[in-house]
Amino acid sequence: MRIFRHYQNIPDDARGAVVAIGNFDGVHLGHRAVIGEAGAIAHATARPWGVLTFEPHPRAFFAPDSPPFRLTPFHAKARLIFGLGVDTIFVQQFNKAFSSLTAEEFIETVLVDGIGARHVVCGYDFVFGKGRGGSAEMLLGFGKRLGFDFTAVRAQTFAGDDAARTAYSSTGIRDALRTGNPQAAARILGRPFEIEGRVIEGHQRGRTIGFPTANLALGTYLRPARGVYAVRVRIGEGEEYAGVANIGRRPTFAGEADLLEVFLFDFTGDLYGRRLGVQLVEFLRPEKKFDGIDQLKAQIAADSDRARQILSKTEP
């Protein structure tokens, strides 16, 4: 597993790869179909299996003041992509110089001269280059002329009658999370939506009322609906715990910034500085302000009981 944060001077053993191209924010089922097609071709032709992606997300470059929207910041995205079996990730910095490349320059400079792609795979609707001038049809034509093969993957949709065969999309995931429907997001992702981060020091109010919480800053993550969730929590790459979490501004304590606070059931120990992955399983209720600590404690206990019941009936 290797990551190259450039396309120049790629070593010979990483060149000649079958390369899936895309932003792949979320690494949802549609993205996995594109990456998986590249993998099938790589295995069949005995070539390296690569992914070319872009950081920061082009949307963050073109609209830097837009609200946070990422489903998978790079650390999470890379972990998920490598989890599919990919050999190499090529990370192209999306900056002013790169955004100025025409579609033709991108193909010739990055794909051919840079990483030496022998087969390129992307979604049928992938566009690229200055002014979004490049398309799947262009990649097919240039491939025939410049010596690489090309495959476009059709839209991936829900099976059967589910949502009238709506295509999997990152937009659909964001809409589901913003409306407090993590189950719908999970159907597109193929797994529960997860927020990763290191535990930061908070005000330690939770431990004074019997519910010690681990706090995670949301950073560039999309803000799901504020409120309380039944969650599963992964500590590092090992232990997993059930729990209950609040996403929001803690109005009872006049909080201002959005924060993820999670209470792990049946856990004792110190989590400061540890890396957690918090999976949102089910939305329990919106965030609200309580009249006092006793009312808050009673509600957290009720939320915890309900979360335990929900999680006992669902598979990890």
pLDDT in tens, 99-147: 999 999 999 999 999 999 999 999 999 999 999 999 999 999 999 999 9
Q: Are strands 119-123 and 275-286 parallel, antiparallel or unpaired?
A: unpaired
Instruction: Give the tens place of pLDDT for each residue, 274-312.
Output: 999 999 999 999 998 887 788 888 999 999 999 999 999
Other residues' Cβ atoms within 10 Å of the Cβ of residue 233: 22
pTM: 0.91
Any idea of the CA torsion for 220, 224, 229, 233, to the nearest 10 degrees? Answer: -30
CATH of 2-153, one of 3.40.50.10610, 3.40.50.620, 3.20.20.70, 3.30.70.260: 3.40.50.620
Domain limits, the chain:
2-153, 193-312
Q: Are strands 240-248 and 259-264 parallel, antiparallel or unpaired?
A: antiparallel
Q: Which residues contact 96 (CB under 8 A, 6 or more apart)?
A: none
Q: Which residues contact 275 (CB under 8 A, 6 or more apart)?
A: 196, 197, 198, 199, 235, 236
Question: Treating both helix axes as pointing N-terminal to C-terminal, what angle do 170-178 and 182-189 enclose, rounded to 10 degrees?
Answer: 160
Instruction: Give the tens place of pLDDT for each residue, 26-53.
Output: 999 999 999 999 999 999 999 999 999 9
Return the ∠ at Cα 4 (arms to 273 and 51), rounded to 5°: 100
DSSP-H helix ranges across 110-244:
136-146, 170-178, 182-189, 205-208
CATH of 193-312, one of 3.30.565.10, 3.40.640.10, 1.10.260.40, 2.40.30.30: 2.40.30.30
Q: Which residues contact 241 (CB under 8 A, 6 or more apart)?
A: 232, 233, 235, 264, 265, 266, 267
Higher-confidence residue: 223 or 255? 223
